[in-house]
């Protein structure tokens, strides 16, 4: 059964001034000269809306690096999509933000790397990033746009979740996402330097529960589970080719942002196919749609329509087989591997994300 | 937060960051009236005029819906 997608992740560029070691972009970043032009993005938005997509996330890299960002935001509004700007704040001036608001941007999400500047800038690999984030957050609120803070959590900062929530409140955010790092792309490369201990993860979960109770009605606290310590896998992207799609800067359409890491998948490009054609017929999308591809224990598991066997990219990265049960599931034959990998924690320097 | 009618999704939907809510006809009628320029009481009065339900029932429904959305920081009361 072919579902209609709800969300489009538009990776406008892989250019970014920051070097966050947990970035989920692929190691092989798309070159500037291969980026889709404005007109193509506007066509993609129109096709997405026809397909049933409701929300577009303007992301990257750093979307603020695109000189046509305001035209792109206007195009999203014209296509009837709810638009969310996902930004580091470095590369978006107050002037641009004003123009974005006027062009109909619906929402802004700003990442924070820690609750205080020195650590935050060290993690981002960019001195002064923290101050820029504070400034843009204030501008977002002044322009009456809703603000979400995305706080990325890993071994360097899990005991400061409370402070990060306080910071989000002080910045006027309505929502904070406590985003425990997921291991794809650059994050996978830096896994040993980022992986928290089980103790840290349990303390973080307890902290989130308390903070939710304390801040109910004041700020919404969403949390992404660190699945290396989970019992069951996450329902990755709401199921393969089911709820969302991702367009890369060079125009490839992916079922999820890490899908290029799976060997042998054939991706179609918006330069050659319509989005509707890609959604329905692209071999990459067909590869793991539904449940027919599943092996045991997923194939006969009562949870198979809840979590879809977990993450294909993670199964491939950890077992070499994209059809395998995501090893984070305690029922997976390869589950012991996850604990072994989680135990590898080093003090190695970050390999900062650079083009 | 935006209320839109979407054919492909089969009706009214409420769009918010990382969330999509399916809005039934009643919720859509309530939210449509949240223009930022009317009071809570005026919304209830307008609905009571347009629909045959008792005012107390309408007040209760509107309160429940809007309080829920305000708790999610999607609306300011």
Is there a contact between B4 and A219 if contact means CB atoms under 8 Å apart? no
Give the pLDDT of residue B10.
Answer: 80
| Per-residue CA distances from A45 to A38, A55, A98, B7, B77 (Å) | 11, 10, 22, 17, 33
Residues of B in contact with A54 (CB under 8 A): 4, 6, 9, 13, 15, 20
Under 8 Å CB pairs connecting chains A and B tally to 45
The predicted structure's pLDDT at residue A249: 98
Query: How far A348 CA lies from chain B's nearest CA (Å)?
Result: 34
Residue segments in chain A with a per-residue pLDDT below the cut of 70 = none
The residues with which A111 forms a beta bridge, in sequence order, are A150
Return the pLDDT at B41.
92
* Contact residues on chain A for B6, CB-CB shorter than 8 A: 52, 54
Chain A residue numbers with beta carbons less than 8 Å from the beta carbon of B17 are: 84, 107, 109, 146, 148, 175
DSSP calls for A138-204? HHHHHTT--EEEEEEESTTSGGGHHHHHHHHHHTT-SEEEEEE---SHHHHHTHHHHPPPHHHHHHH
Q: Do A216 and B71 touch (CB under 8 A)?
A: yes
Q: What is the pLDDT of residue B17?
A: 81
Under an 8 A CB cutoff, do A50 and B8 touch? yes
Instruction: List CB contacts (< 8 A) between B15 and chain A.
Output: 54-55, 82, 106
d(CA A155, CA A119): 12
DSSP per position, A2-43: -PPP-EEEEE--S--S---TT--S-SSPPPGGG---HHHHHH
Asked whether residue B9 carries a pLDDT value surpassing 80, the answer given is no
Minimum distance, in Å, between the CA of residue A107 and any CA atom of chain B: 7
Mean pLDDT to the nearest integer, B8-25: 85
* Residue B8 pLDDT > 80: no
B-chain residue closest to A84, CA distance: B17
Q: Note whether A351 and A190 are within 8 A (CB).
A: yes
What is the rounded distance in angstroms from the CA atom of residue A161 to the CA atom of residue A92? 26
Contact list, A218 vs chain B (CB under 8 Å): 73
A217: left (phi over 0), alpha (psi -120 to 50) or beta: left
Contact B17/A216, CB-based, under 8 Å? no
Contact between A217 and B71 using a beta-carbon 8 Å cutoff: yes
Smallest Cβ–Cβ distance between B8 and the set A52, A82, A84 belongs to: A52
Report the side by side order of strands in the sheet with A7-11: A220-224, A175-180, A147-153, A107-112, A82-87, A55-59, A7-11, A244-247, A253-254
Note whether A8 and A53 are within 8 A (CB).
Answer: yes
Q: How far is B49 from chain A (nearest CA, A)?
A: 31
The pLDDT-based confidence of B77 (bands split at 50, 70, 90) is confident
Specify the residue for token string 């604990």: A339
Nearest residue in chain A measured CA to CA from B8: A52
Tens digits of residue pLDDT in A244-255: 999 999 999 999
Q: Tell me which residue of A102, A118, A111, A116 sits closest to A63, measured CA to CA.
A: A111
Tell me, yes or no, if B6 comes closer than 8 A to chain A by beta carbon. yes
What pLDDT band is residue B36 in, cutting at 50, 70 and 90?
Answer: confident
Determine, for residues B15 and A106 on separate chains, whether the beta-carbon distance falls below 8 Å: yes
Nearest chain B CA: its distance from A280 CA (Å): 15
Q: Identify whether the C-beta of residue A114 lies closer than 8 Å to the C-beta of residue A75.
A: no
Beta bridge partners of A153: A180
Which residue of chain B comes nearest to A109, CA vs CA?
B17
Q: Do B73 and A175 touch (CB under 8 A)?
A: yes
Contact between chains at B73 and A55 (C-beta distance less than 8 A): no
pLDDT digit string, tens, across residues A104-151 = 999 999 999 999 999 999 999 999 999 999 999 999 999 999 999 999
- The per-residue pLDDT for B21 is 87
Using pLDDT thresholds of 50, 70 and 90, give the confidence band for residue B5.
confident
| Nearest-neighbour CA in chain B from A344: distance (Å) | 33
What pLDDT sits at residue A258?
95
Residue contact B8–A51, C-beta within 8 A: yes
Instruction: Provide the whole-model pTM.
Output: 0.94
ipTM, interface predicted TM-score of the complex = 0.80
Q: What is the DSSP letter of A269?
A: B
How far the first Cα of chain A sits from its last, in Å, is: 40
């Amino acid at each position: 059964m072919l579902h209609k997608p709800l969300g489009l992740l538009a990776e406008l560029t892989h250019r970014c001034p920051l070097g966050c070691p947990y970035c989920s972009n692929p190691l092989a970043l798309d070159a500037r000269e291969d980026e889709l032009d404005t007109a193509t993005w506007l066509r993609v938005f129109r096709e997405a809306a026809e397909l049933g997509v409701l929300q577009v996330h303007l992301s990257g890299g750093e979307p603020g690096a695109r000189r046509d960002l305001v035209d792109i935001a206007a195009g999203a509004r014209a296509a009837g999509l709810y638009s969310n700007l996902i930004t580091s704040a470095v590369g978006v001036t107050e002037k641009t933000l004003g123009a974005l608001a006027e062009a109909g941007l619906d929402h802004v999400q700003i990442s924070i790397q820690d609750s205080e500047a020195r650590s935050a800038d060290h993690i981002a690999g960019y001195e002064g990033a923290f101050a820029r984030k504070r400034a843009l957050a204030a501008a977002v609120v002044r322009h009456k746009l809703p603000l979400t803070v995305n706080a990325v959590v890993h071994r360097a900062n899990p005991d400061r979740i409370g402070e990060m929530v306080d910071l989000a409140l002080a910045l006027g955010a309505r929502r904070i996402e406590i985003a425990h790092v997921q291991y794809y792309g650059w994050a996978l490369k830096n896994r040993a330097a980022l992986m928290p201990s089980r103790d840290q993860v349990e303390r973080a979960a307890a902290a989130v529960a308390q903070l939710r109770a304390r801040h109910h009605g004041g700020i919404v606290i969403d949390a992404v589970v660190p699945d290396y310590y989970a019992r069951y896998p996450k329902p990755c992207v709401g199921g393969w080719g089911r709820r969302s799609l991702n367009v890369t800067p060079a125009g490839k359409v992916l079922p999820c942002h890490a899908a290029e890491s799976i060997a042998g998948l054939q991706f179609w490009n918006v330069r050659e196919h319509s989005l509707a054609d890609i959604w329905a017929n692209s071999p990459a999308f067909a590869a793991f749609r539904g449940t027919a591809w599943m092996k045991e224990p997923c194939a006969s598991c009562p949870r198979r329509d809840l979590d879809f066997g977990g993450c294909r990219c993670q199964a491939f990265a950890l077992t070499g087989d994209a059809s395998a049960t995501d090893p984070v599931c305690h029922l997976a034959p390869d589950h012991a591997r996850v604990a072994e990998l989680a135990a590898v924690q080093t003090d190695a320097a970050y390999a900062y994300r650079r083009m | 937060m935006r209320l839109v009618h979407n054919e492909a999704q089969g009706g009214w939907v409420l769009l918010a960051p990382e969330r999509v809510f399916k809005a039934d006809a009643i919720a859509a009628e309530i939210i449509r009236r949240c223009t930022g320029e009317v009071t809570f009481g005026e919304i209830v009065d307008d609905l009571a005029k347009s629909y045959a339900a008792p005012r107390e029932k309408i007040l209760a429904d509107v309160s429940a819906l809007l309080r829920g959305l305000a708790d999610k920081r999607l609306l300011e009361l």
